[in-house]
Structure 1
Amino acid sequence: MIDWSRIKILRDEIGADDIDEVVEIFLEEVEETIADLPNASSSEDFERGYHALKGSALNLGFSAFSALCQQGETAAAAGQTDVVSIAQLDECYTASKASFLEGYSSLAKAG
């Protein structure tokens, strides 16, 4: 569900002191984007939303969530906006976030 090697690489790239801020911004942006998806008025809006979520998720190692976003982006590009439901997306994000926060806490303690 979470690509911990990606998190370690990111932490090494930006530093242990700055990664907490990156995580906080990521979580806020993802939650805002998911909340905005029901307001999408076209398949292009859905595609852009899924694309943004996918990129952010890949950057922070949310592999399962990113894969679901990729599925939604691909479907939306084909005009199929109902292949991935927003509820399904939110459920995957919530589970990924819980897994991430649990493991991230241990990772932070380990240094």
Structure 2
Amino acid sequence: MIEWARVEELRSEVGPENFPEVVALFLEETDAAMAALNPDAGPAKVRQALHFLKGAALNLGLRGVVALCRQEERCATCGSPIPFDFVALTDTYLRSRAELLAGLPDEIPGQIRNSASASSPVISR
């Protein structure tokens, strides 16, 4: 689910000293985007939220999230009758986030590690 080459590319781009802060910022933003994503908001708002989430996920190497966002964006753009699968996106995001953090055990601050918990709005919908 994680494109580790992209994670290493990000580390190289921002420098090892800035990498933890950049990853933490991306995770805070993606957590907030997931919490704010409302499947009932209408196609334009959902498409906009998915586009933002896809961009952040691309930067973090979250392949599964990127793939689902692309699929859902295409469905929203073409007016497909296939309903938005919020549960699959949420599950994929949380699993990808956990895998990313597990692969970076000593680099990311504890408050970021623990911010997407079972009580989070990310998964309480």
TM-score normalised by the shorter chain: which range applies?
Answer: 0.7 to 0.9
Q: Percent identity of the aligned residues?
A: 36
Deviation larger for 19-28 or 31-40: 31-40
Contact 1:68 / 1:84 at 8 angstroms: preserved in 2?
A: no
C-alpha distance in 2, partners of 1:39/1:65? 16
Question: Secondary structure at 1:16's aligned position in 2?
Answer: coil
Deviation at 1:34, TM superposition (A): 1.2
Higher helix share: 1
Deviation larger for 28-37 or 77-86: 77-86
Count how many residue pairs are aligned between Structure 1 and Structure 2: 108
Contact 1:34 / 1:86 at 8 angstroms: preserved in 2?
A: no
Contact 1:43 / 1:81 at 8 angstroms: preserved in 2?
A: no
C-alpha distance in 2, partners of 1:39/1:54? 16
Deviation at 1:92, TM superposition (A): 0.4
Where does structure 1 lack aligned partners over 5 or more consecutive residues?
Answer: none
**Cα displacement string for residues 18-48 of structure 1 (whole angstroms, at most 9, x for unaligned residues):** 1111111111111111111117522011111
| Residues 27-66 of structure 1 mapped to structure 2, 5 A cutoff | 27-38=27-38, 41-66=41-66
Where does structure 2 lack aligned partners over 5 or more consecutive residues?
Answer: 109-125
| Residues 1-111 of structure 1 mapped to structure 2, 5 A cutoff | 1-38=1-38, 41-80=41-80, 83-105=83-105
The letter of the residue matching 1:68 is L
TM-score (norm 2): 0.77
C-alpha distance in 2, partners of 1:17/1:81? 46
Contact 2:64 / 2:92 at 8 angstroms: preserved in 1?
A: yes
